[in-house]
Every structure is written in C-alpha cells, then in structure tokens.
C-alpha cells in the first residue's frame, strides 16, 4: 500500500517556489558578504603593509643614526686614549665627558652615555639632568647586556629594550658598541653604552591598548616582544614567529590578521595585529541594510507568488472538493465547470463523466456480487489436496528422469520436498534438522534460478539438530537475505551463514548474509519495521516475528544488526524450554 504525502500539490508548489526565492536571496547575500569580507581583508592588508613599510623605513634611519653616533664616539681621540690608559697613567676624564656632551647636545633623546674601560672595568658616565641619579649602571649593566640581542647579522653591536636602567619608570633603548683600538683592528679596549628615549617605543606604548582589536609590536627574530609596556599583563612572545618569513607578509590566525615588516637588515620586525571582528564590524551596517532590503523584497515576492498560485489553483480546488465528497460517500457530487481554463475544464469534465459511469457500474456490480461470492466459494473447494500435489510432482520427476533432464528432475524433487515440509502434516513445530532440509530444497530452486550465486555455510553442531522450532522460521529469513543482500550484488557470489548458540535458558539462531554494505540507520529502520506492516520490508519476515511473539511472548522474536561480512545478521531468540536434545 503506497503512502500519501501530507502536503497538497498547492502546498508543494508554494514550498518549491518559496524555496527558490529564498535560496536565491540567501545565495546573493552570501556572495555579497563573502566578497565584502575578501576585499575588506585585502584592503586592510595593503593599508597596514604600506604603514608598516613607512614606519620600518623611518625606524631604520633612526637606528642608523644611533649607530653613527656610537661610531663617532668610539673613534673619538679622547675615548680612544682613555680606554688605552693603563695603571698609574694620568688622564683627565673630563675630556671623555666633554666628548659625550658634544654628542648629547646634538641628540637630545640620549639619556646617558657610559664609556667602560676593559683594563680595569673603570668607567666614565655622562647623563641628562633627569637621569644622572636614576641610572643604576653597576647593578644593571651585566644583566641588561645579557638580554640584549645582536643588532644585525655579523655585527658586534647589541641592542636591548627595557626599563632596567630607570627602575621601571620608563622604557628605553640601549645600544652596546665595542670600542676597538683604531691603530690595531681587533683589539677590544672597552664598551660604549648609549641609552635613548626611543621615539618609536614611546609611540608604540602610547598607541597599544588605546584601540581595541589593533596592536602594533616591535619584536626580535625569536618572537620576543620588545615594545609592550605591560609584558607581564599581556604576553612576552608572539606564538606565530615561525610563520614570519622574508621581509614582509601577512596571515590570519585565531581570528587575528597579522601583518609584519622587517626593519631592513636589523634583527627586528614591526608586527601589527588586527582583530578580524573589528574589520567585519565596519561592514556590518552595510550588510544589515542589505539583509533588511533583500528580506523586504523577498517578503513581497512571496506574498505575490502565494496569491498568484492560489488564483491558478482555484479550479483544482473544485476537483479536490469533489474528491473529498466522494470519499465521504456522496456519489452524487458533480464539479461546476464555469470559469475554468481549458486544462481544468477537461479535468472536471472527465471527473463528471467518470462519476456517471461509476453509478452505472455500481448497479451492475450489485447484480454480479452474488455470482462472484459463489465462484469464490467454489474455488476454495477445488483446492488441490496435498497427496495429489505430491503425486503430480513425482510424475513430473520420473518423466524428467526418463527424458534424462536432470535440471527438471532436481528442481521438481526440491519443490516436492519444499512443500512437504511446508505442510508438515499440519504440525506447527518441527525439528531444526527438518527446517534445514527445507532451506536446502529452497536453495536448490533459487540457485537454478540465479545461476548458483548462493552459498550456505551451516555452522550448527549435530547436538542441535533435534531442537524444535516453529515451522518456516528460517526459510523466510534466508529468502530475505538473498533478495535484499546477495541478489543486489549483480551476479557476485554471496554467502549465507547459519549458526546457533545457547545462553542460559534461551536459544539464539543467527542468519547472516555477506551483503554489499549497509548503514546503521537502515538497520535501525529494519528493527523498527519488523513488528509492524511495511510493504517494502517483507511480509514473510514480519510473519515469523509475529508467530514467535504469539507463541512465546513479546521478549522473543527477531533482531537485526550489522556483521563482519559487510551485510546484516538477523538474530532469532527462542526459549530453550521449546527444544529437546
């Protein structure tokens, strides 16, 4: 019996048209949103990249300027002479201070300068008025130098970014430049320490945290952040340093757009992090406006289409109303054909003609009903008796033997055995051995039909042969395994496995096919359908389950599950009390 959908044709047409309209709107909005996102990200990358290149170029000039100041002091005669003086040699340290003072007058952002002599670790310090007494050189120098990094590849200049020299009051850049003897290259005589209030550091400190979702960092080649004013509160390193290759680039990670730019040959990167949420937020107003506009247009379109479909469907409603009246038993109904289009007119006219003929046929049917009942009764009385059927099949068998037609002989013998066990002299319970003979006869017929594509492997110990089970329990299950498992494999040979086991006071018989692969959802549907009528599932299997349940109770019956052969196994659960050994 075919199932009827719960929707009318009008509802289906309305749903289909509405679905197309809505789908088109959604696709248009999606394309617009994705395109907007793509171009927004690309523009942001280009804009930030340009800003980073300008900022990196300016900072490269600044670092070069710092380096040039250091070189000018390193080759200064007074500093050279001071570093080369040995014990008991008199030298006026004020000359060194004057040389440093000359540089500090040119570069106002120098906080202090220190010239350290390697010979005896003595030093000369000169600082700005606001830093002279704050600088803790002797306690800070060694630790700060150890955390400094190489300024360039192959360079002896080292640079540190920190707040150690000013007791955490401000962040500064410190440049460490070795002092070599001019007359003897390679002979290190001391160290020049220059400390700057760096404009870029100050700019990054003032900028970071003021704009949510946008962070600008100065990092070294190991990913250490050099410009964060609150390292302990934020983070010490960037987690994506391995993705930063070359002089510049960009990538997205964890909802963050990362753009970076290397500062020329220096071992530093400028990194800008932008929250993609912030980027998208700028386009949300446009997107929301577009959504509202498209939704409004879609709503008007759906209302218009609904009214149009209703107008076009009105003649069909007349026909459906007539059908409903007939269903309720009103056979005198006729459809009004006025105002219908050509197609609907033909449909209504055919309906009216059909009803006229039905009334005529019903009168004839009443007259013939008695005759039909008599014919049906006579047909039941004329059923073939079992012994007549066996004798007929036996005659056919021997005639086939005489004609030397082995195939006919084999299939007739199998068919006779098949029906003999089916009838079983009226018994409802037979031995498992008889049931297995029944299956073998059935498989002889099926293999001749399907060119021997079915193989049965019986893994049942002899001690179970005398077990009593309901008649025709296994055959419908084997038939189902063949039709829904083996036959669908298009000629490939399939295997049906039969085995049995005893668990406490219950008996379990298993019928498994090799199958062609089945989803768990389909197995679940089979278990749900085994106890209720489902034309696609098979009446024979449902009949087996119902007979077992009626005989032994609701706890017994059939259960389907997947198996290792790629097919389905049906488990037959029977009480041991119905068996004998």
- Give CA 495 to chain center in angstroms: 37
At residue 294, the pLDDT reads 79
Does the structure show a pLDDT above 80 at 549?
yes
B/e letters for 24-39, b = 16+ CB within 10 Å, e = fewer, are ebeeebeeebeebeee
pLDDT band at residue 260 under the 50/70/90 scheme: very high
Q: What is the mean pLDDT of residues 372-380?
A: 43
At residue 275, the pLDDT reads 81
At residue 414, the pLDDT reads 64
pLDDT digits (tens, 9 = 90+) for 140-170: 888 889 888 998 888 889 998 888 887 767 7
On the 0-12 / 13-18 / 19+ scale of CB atoms within 10 A, 263 is buried
357 phi and psi, to 5 degrees?
-70, -35
Q: What is the mean pLDDT of residues 362-368?
A: 71
Stretch (H or E) spanning 487: none
Least confident of 25-29, 115-119, 271-275: 25-29
CB 565 within 8 A of CB 497: yes
3-state secondary structure (DSSP) of residue 151:
coil
Does the structure show a pLDDT above 60 at 208?
no
On the 0-12 / 13-18 / 19+ scale of CB atoms within 10 A, 519 is exposed
132/120 Cα distance (integer angstroms): 23
Q: What is the mean pLDDT of residues 530-536?
A: 65
pLDDT digits (tens, 9 = 90+) for 129-147: 544 445 567 778 888 898 8
State the DSSP code for 486: I
Does the structure show a pLDDT above 80 at 210?
no
Q: For the sheet containing 256-262, what is the strand order?
A: 214-220, 268-275, 256-262, 248-253
Chain position carrying tokens 């039969």: 498
At residue 310, the pLDDT reads 73
CA proximity to 473, closest of 373, 579, 395: 579
pLDDT band at residue 516 under the 50/70/90 scheme: low
Q: Residues near 251 by Cβ (< 8 Å), separated by ≥ 6? A: 240, 243, 258
Least confident of 68-72, 375-379, 551-555: 375-379
CA proximity to 221, closest of 271, 258, 284, 174: 271
Sign of CA dihedral 30, 32, 36, 39: positive
pLDDT digits (tens, 9 = 90+) for 398-412: 566 666 666 676 666
Give the CA dihedral 352, 356, 357, 359, nearest 10 degrees.
130
CB 131 within 8 A of CB 112: yes
Structure tokens at 373: 């009942």
244/257 Cα distance (integer angstroms): 13
163/537 Cα distance (integer angstroms): 81
Contacts for 337-341 with beta carbons within 8 Å, 24 or more apart? Answer: 339/315, 340/315, 341/315
CA proximity to 386, closest of 422, 429, 433: 422
């Amino acid at each position: 019996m075919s199932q009827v959908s719960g929707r009318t044709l009008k509802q289906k047409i309305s749903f289909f048209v509405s679905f197309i309209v809505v789908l088109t709107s959604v696709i248009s909005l999606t394309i617009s949103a994705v395109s907007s996102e793509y171009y927004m990200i690309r523009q942001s990358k280009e804009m930030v990249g340009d800003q980073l290149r300008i900022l990196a170029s300016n900072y490269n000039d600044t670092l070069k300027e710092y380096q040039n100041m250091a070189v000018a002091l390193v080759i200064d005669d007074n500093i050279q002479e001071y570093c080369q003086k040995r014990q008991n040699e008199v030298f006026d340290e004020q000359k060194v201070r004057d040389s440093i003072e000359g540089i500090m007058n040119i570069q106002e952002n120098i906080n202090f300068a220190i010239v350290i002599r390697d010979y005896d670790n003595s030093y000369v310090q000169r600082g700005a008025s606001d830093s002279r007494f704050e600088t803790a050189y002797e306690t800070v120098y060694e630790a700060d130098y150890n955390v400094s990094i190489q300024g360039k590849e192959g360079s002896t200049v080292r640079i540190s970014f920190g707040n150690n020299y000013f007791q955490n009051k401000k962040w500064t850049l410190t440049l460490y430049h070795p002092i070599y003897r001019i007359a003897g290259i390679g002979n290190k005589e001391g160290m020049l320490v220059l400390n700057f209030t760096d404009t870029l550091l100050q700019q990054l400190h003032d900028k970071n945290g003021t704009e949510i979702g946008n962070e600008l960092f100065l990092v070294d080649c190991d990913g250490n952040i050099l410009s964060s004013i609150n390292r302990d509160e934020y983070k010490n390193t960037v987690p994506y340093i391995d993705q930063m290759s070359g002089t510049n680039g960009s990538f997205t990670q964890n909802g963050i757009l990362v753009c970076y730019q290397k500062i020329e040959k220096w071992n530093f990167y400028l990194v800008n992090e932008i929250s993609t949420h912030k980027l998208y937020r700028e386009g949300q107003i446009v997107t929301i406006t577009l959504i509202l506009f498209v939704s409004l247009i879609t709503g008007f379109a759906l209302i218009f289409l609904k009214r149009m479909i209703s107008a076009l469907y009105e003649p069909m409603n007349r026909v459906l109303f007539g059908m409903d009246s007939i269903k309720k038993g009103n056979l005198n109904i006729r459809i009004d054909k006025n105002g219908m289009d050509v197609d609907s007119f033909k449909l209504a006219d055919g309906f009216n003609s059909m009803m006229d003929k039905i009334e005529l046929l019903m009168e004839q049917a009443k007259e013939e009903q008695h005759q039909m009942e008599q014919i049906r009764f006579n047909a039941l009385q004329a059923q073939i008796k079992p012994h007549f059927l066996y004798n007929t099949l036996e005659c056919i068998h021997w005639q086939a033997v005489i004609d030397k037609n082995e195939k006919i002989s084999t299939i007739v013998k199998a068919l006779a055995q098949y029906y003999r066990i089916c009838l079983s002299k009226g018994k409802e319970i037979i031995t498992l051995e008889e049931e297995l003979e029944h299956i073998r006869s059935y498989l002889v017929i099926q293999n001749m039909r399907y060119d021997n594509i079915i193989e049965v492997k019986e893994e049942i110990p002899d001690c179970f042969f005398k077990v009593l089970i309901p008649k025709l329990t296994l055959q419908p299950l084997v038939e189902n395994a063949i039709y829904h498992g083996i036959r669908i494999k298009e000629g490939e040979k399939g295997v049906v496995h039969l085995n049995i086991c005893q668990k406490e006071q219950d008996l379990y018989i298993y019928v498994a096919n090799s199958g062609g692969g089945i989803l768990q959802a389909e197995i679940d549907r089979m278990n749900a359908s085994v106890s209720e009528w489902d034309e696609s599932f098979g009446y024979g299997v449902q009949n087996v389950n119902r007979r077992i349940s009626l005989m032994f109770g609701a706890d017994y019956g059939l259960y389907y599950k997947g198996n290792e052969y790629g097919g389905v196994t049906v488990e037959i659960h029977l009480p041991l009390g119905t068996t004998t050994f």
